[in-house]
Amino acid sequence: MRGRWLFAAIFACVVTAFTIAPLTPNSALARTELPITEIRWFNFSPEDSWQPIQFIVPDRNTAKSAGRRKLRLYDVHIAKMFEISHFLCDRDRASEGYNWSYQAENGSIEMGRFKISCNLAREIAAVYGLGKPEISVIRRNFNLKNGRPSFELEKYSIPTLNIGKNRVLQWRDFVQKFPPIPDNSGANQANSSFPASSIFRQIKGKTRVPIFLPSRLPLSDIQQVDFDVQAGSHGYIVGMYLGKGCRAGACYFGTIEAKRNEPFSPPSQLPQDTYRSIELAGGFRGIYFNNCGAYCTAFVEWQRLGVLYRVTRKNGRQQEVVQIANSALQAGQR
């Protein structure tokens, strides 16, 4: 129903008896290929037939001009999602559609989720027409026949939507009527206090490294978290577990760590699933990576005065570990 309503809304902006005009160099979308951090396609067979794709861009402000014909970066990003959805739908014909997770600032800002059905992607392509292709590099995650996870970097030449010239305002109007769908995962709730004073008292006097602890955690009820604090002259580690007294892997939530003379890179013995540079509060350069085995662990690391600081979360999202890291940096040295 949503796809039909959106299609009708688009046609309301188009003249009666609309026909697609032949494409000319001036009618196609005149744009250069904008920077994209990563497009990650989880090419599995989900129960609901909606395959997840992450669309991650380096830009912090997606409302700024894309440089051509009054389009914002946001408008061009949404167009790219439709172009890729249309291409994959026509190529594979094995999915109902694609569930896009749109993330800005190299994955640190959650922009929302957009579900683009194959029917809607084809309708949009029919209305606007397809113009000059652009190269898109997609990281396709999939399972091997033995069930082990794997990935391939694949390069596709994907036609762009013809939203240049007189269709710019029409496209922007459509984008305004295509908001992100509500995300009830709870990833953005970070209103729980972290007992920094109590944790600090357990570390102070036992270590010679500067202590950075967050003020907030992305949890709805901090009382559910139990802490295991260890400290030595060269660092400290605060283990976080869900459940009083539980130290089993099922209860593990994450860690807050500091280690002197630790390398600033993902552990080599673990399979590297993601690795990218990010900017943290105060302009600190950090790295984010995600390692997967029996479960996935999200990491954020940064260095200060020869000390490696690390935040991890079991099955976490980049936004969550970045929130914890930024909270520690904004709180300052304890």
Task: Write down the pLDDT at residue 66.
Answer: 85
Integer Cα distance of 20 and 263 in angstroms = 57
Burial (CB count within 10 angstroms: exposed 0-12, middle 13-18, buried 19+), residue 102: buried
Contact 328, 212 (CB under 8 A): yes
Are residues 310 and 275 part of one domain?
yes
- List the chain pLDDT tens, one digit each, 334 residues: 444 444 344 333 332 232 223 333 333 343 446 889 999 998 877 666 889 999 999 999 999 988 766 889 999 999 999 999 999 999 887 678 999 999 999 888 889 999 999 999 999 999 999 998 999 999 888 878 877 777 888 999 999 999 877 889 999 999 999 999 976 554 445 467 899 999 999 999 999 999 999 998 887 665 578 899 999 999 999 999 988 888 888 889 899 999 998 877 665 554 456 788 889 999 999 999 887 766 788 999 999 999 999 999 998 888 899 999 999 999 999 9
Burial (CB count within 10 angstroms: exposed 0-12, middle 13-18, buried 19+), residue 195: middle
Are residues 171 and 196 part of one domain?
no
Task: Write down the pLDDT at residue 9.
Answer: 42
Choosing from 152, 176, 200, the residue where a domain stops is 176
Contact 106, 56 (CB under 8 A): yes
Are residues 157 and 211 part of one domain?
no
Are residues 106 and 253 part of one domain?
no
> How far is CA 1 from each of CA 7, 48, 119, 120, 220, rounded to the nearest angstrom?
10, 17, 11, 10, 34
Quickly tell me which residue has 């200060």 as its tokens: 304
Nearest to 263 by CA among 312, 306, 210: 306
Integer Cα distance of 324 and 334 in angstroms = 15
Compute and round to an integer the Cα radius of gyration of the chain: 23
Q: Which pair of tokens denotes residue 322? A: 């970045």
Choosing from 176, 203, 226, the residue where a domain stops is 176
Are residues 304 and 263 part of one domain?
yes
Task: Write down the pLDDT at residue 49.
Answer: 81
Are residues 202 and 150 part of one domain?
no
Query: How many domains would you assign to the chain?
Result: 2
Evaluate whether residue 181 is within a structural domain.
no
Evaluate whether residue 94 is within a structural domain.
yes
Are residues 254 and 166 part of one domain?
no
Evaluate whether residue 184 is within a structural domain.
no
Choosing from 176, 202, 230, the residue where a domain stops is 176
Are residues 151 and 214 part of one domain?
no
Nearest to 111 by CA among 169, 39, 60, 176: 60
CA torsion angle for 166, 168, 171, 177 (degrees, to 10)? -110
Evaluate whether residue 38 is within a structural domain.
yes
Are residues 199 and 90 part of one domain?
no
Contact 300, 291 (CB under 8 A): no
Q: Which domain holds residue 139?
A: 2-176
80 DSSP assignment: H
Are residues 144 and 244 part of one domain?
no
CATH number of the domain where residue 301 is located: 3.40.1000
Contact 100, 53 (CB under 8 A): yes
Task: Write down the pLDDT at residue 158.
Answer: 95
Are residues 211 and 134 part of one domain?
no
Are residues 106 and 73 part of one domain?
yes
